[in-house]
A and B are shown apart, each in its own frame.
Chain A
């Protein structure tokens, strides 16, 4: 079974937010709901500062806590690609997935039913990459198998995001010892 995920090359991100907008536009997401968000992380002290951003959506975990918590069986892990998907017709809107997800991924629009990134499976079926990575002008973000993503991260002093659910997100520029997890959980999205 393949496991797909995302890679974010922080040093190539020009902070344009095109990934967020492409995601919304392609998936026709209703106003007020964002599946992908760009998080900003400042380091250093003025004037020697560094400003990095990471674009995050669903981590498509190998062991998705959301699916385990869902009482309606609405969340499933697609065996052939390892992508975590939600069946909005089965969702009962209890938000158990929101409590279970360590990364704040599940979103709820007007209908109250959970919605999130499905790695653009529809585009994948047409041989296209996800809308977010396809639009990235700096080629900072990539989608692929965890083996491919692991190689990209290793080439750029990066690592896979650590976590009990085995998230399929790889980030450049920070060794495995310094996890992005607390950063992701505390960053404002802007």
Chain B
């Protein structure tokens, strides 16, 4: 939509008035809204409403880890130039973001003597990874986040892929895989959150 125009009035615009038949069935209510009370879950003995549970490691749930791992860690899957875990081999894109980065608040970085662009080791109770620090005033001071998916190298720029095990940039390795704590019992989604310490590499 350009210049604030209503896109429905643009030439060639079509407004779809029909409603999908799916929208009148469960889990949708007759008016097309999503029902958060899930009767199928209830039938099978699960909680019918969304509930919040502590991730396997967190500042409140596992305070005993706080001294060794004082920062919350999670990963994100979209970036300025890449889609998910690929396209790192395209030189025109890789130049914009050549190295795996971890976003860290200026205060958290200063407390560790970390400057923008420094290589840092990010260590959780499960793995150790290496990223370039990106000083980010827009992130919570108690949280760091990294972009996932750095398996590909870029031949044209002479940049290698990152190893998947300790010392690479594989964010998945950072998390607990405890069957009872880390996975949702119904959809098996994994809790992508843990606690870490960050130090200069």
Which residues of A come within 8 Å of B, CB atoms?
Answer: 15-17, 20-21, 24-25, 31-32, 34, 38, 42, 44-47, 49, 51, 139, 188, 190
User: Contacting chain A: which of B10-18, B46-54, B135-143, B180-188?
Assistant: B135-143
Q: Which residues of B contact A190 (CB under 8 A)?
A: 80, 96-97, 134
A137 to B97, CA, bound (A): 20
Give the distance in Å from the alpha carbon of A98 to the alpha carbon of B138 in the complex: 33
B117 proximity list for chain A (CB < 8 A): 188
B92 near A24 (CB under 8 angstroms)? yes
Q: How many residues of B contact A (CB 8 A)?
A: 21
Known contacts A31-B156, A42-B137, A46-B105; A21 and B93 CB within 8 A of each other: yes
B80 touching A17 by the CB < 8 A rule?
A: yes
A31 to B158, CA, bound (A): 10
Question: B137 near A45 (CB under 8 angstroms)?
Answer: yes
Rounded to whole angstroms, the CA-CA distance of A32 and B156 in the bound complex is 8
The reply to whether the CB of B84 lies closer than 8 angstroms to some CB of chain A is no
Asked if B2 contacts A139 (CB within 8 A), the reply is yes
A21-B96, A32-B95 known; A46+B80 contact, CB < 8 A: no
- Mostly, the B contact residues are loop
Q: How would residues 5 to 38 of chain B score, 1 for a CB under 8 Å from any chain A CB and 0 otherwise?
A: 0000000000000000000000000000000000
Chain B 87-126 against A: per-residue CB contact (8 Å), 1 yes, 0 no? 0000111011100000001000000000011000000000
Residue contact A44 to B137, C-beta cutoff 8 Å: yes
> Which residues of chain A are within 8 angstroms of B105 by Cβ–Cβ distance?
46
Q: What string of 1s and 0s marks CB contacts (under 8 Å) between B62-93 and chain A?
A: 00000000000000000011000000000111
Task: Identify the 3 closest CB pairs spanning chains A and B, nearest first.
Answer: A31-B156, A31-B91, A42-B137
B177 to chain A: which residues have CB within 8 Å?
A: none
Minimal Cβ-Cβ distance residue in B for A21: B92
| Cα-based distance from A51 to B137 in the complex (angstroms) | 9
Q: Which residues of A contact B116 (CB under 8 A)?
A: 188
Interface pair B96/A20, CB less than 8 Å apart: yes
Q: CA separation between A15 and B97, bound complex, in Å?
A: 13
Interchain CA distance A25-B91 in the complex, whole Å: 10
* 30 CB < 8 A contacts A-B: A15-B80, A16-B80, A17-B80, A17-B81, A17-B96, A24-B95, A31-B91, A31-B95, A31-B156, A31-B157, A32-B95, A32-B157, A34-B95, A38-B96, A42-B136, A42-B137, A42-B138, A44-B137, A45-B137, A46-B105, A46-B137, A46-B139, A46-B141, A47-B140, A49-B137, A51-B137, A139-B2, A188-B117, A190-B80, A190-B97
